[in-house]
A and B are shown apart, each in its own frame.
Chain A
Amino acid sequence: MMALFIRRAIEDTLRNRLLNIITIITISLSILIVSAFILFFINTAEFINIWKDGIPVMVYLKPGVDTAELSDIKRNIQTISAAQYIRYISKQDALNSLKAQMKRQSSLFENLSENPLPDAFEIRIMLPGHNWQKMESFAAQIESLDQVEEVEYGQKWLERFIHLIELFRFAGYALGGIFFMATVFIVTNTIRLVIYSRSEEVEIMRLVGATDRFIKIPFYIQSMFQCAFGALIGLAALFISFLFLTSNVEQGLFSGFFQIRFIPMRILLTIVFCSMLVGWLGCYLSLKQYLKA
Chain B
Amino acid sequence: MIDGNGKSSIIRMFHVHQNYGAKRALIDITLDIAKNEFVFISGPSGAGKTTLLKLFYLAESVSEGQILIDGINLSRIPFKRIPFLRRKFGIIFQDYKLIPTRNIFDNVALVLEAAGKKRRLIQKKVRSVLRLVGMEDRQNVLPASLSGGEQQRVAVARAIIGDPQVILADEPTGSLDSEAAKIIMDLLKGVHIRGATVIIATHDKELIRTTGGRVLFLKQGRLEGSAFVEKHYDGAIY
Interface residues of A (CB under 8 A from B): 1, 3-4, 15, 200-201, 203-212, 214
Contacts and interface: CB of A to CB of B under 8 A. Distances in A.
A98 B69 CA distance: 101
A207 B87 contact: no
Contacts of A201: 99, 101-102
B119 A4 contact: yes
Majority-rule SS of A interface residues: helix
Given A4-B113, A4-B119, A205-B110, A210 B83 contact: yes
Given A207-B59, A207-B91, A1 B86 contact: no
A208 B102 CA distance: 15
Nearest to B114: A210
Given A1-B116, A4-B113, A209 B83 contact: yes
A208 B114 contact: yes
A214 to B, nearest CB: 5
Contacts of B115: 209
Interface string B75-118: 00000100110110001000001111110000000110111100
Q: Which of B83, B119, B162 gathers the greatest number of chain A CB atoms within 10 Å?
A: B83
24 contacts: A1-B116, A3-B119, A4-B113, A200-B97, A201-B101, A203-B97, A204-B97, A204-B99, A205-B114, A208-B110, A208-B111, A208-B114, A208-B158, A209-B83, A209-B84, A209-B111, A209-B114, A209-B115, A210-B83, A210-B110, A211-B83, A214-B83, A214-B113, A214-B114
Interface residues of B, number: 23
Interface string B109-132: 011011110010000000000000
A15 B101 contact: yes
Contacts of A200: 97, 99-100
Interface of B: 57, 59, 80, 83-84, 86-87, 91, 97-102, 110-111, 113-116, 119, 158, 162
A200 B116 CA distance: 21
A270 B76 CA distance: 46
Contacts of B162: 208-209
A210 B115 CA distance: 7
Contacts of B80: 211
A203 B98 CA distance: 11
Contact of B83 (A1, A15, A206): A206
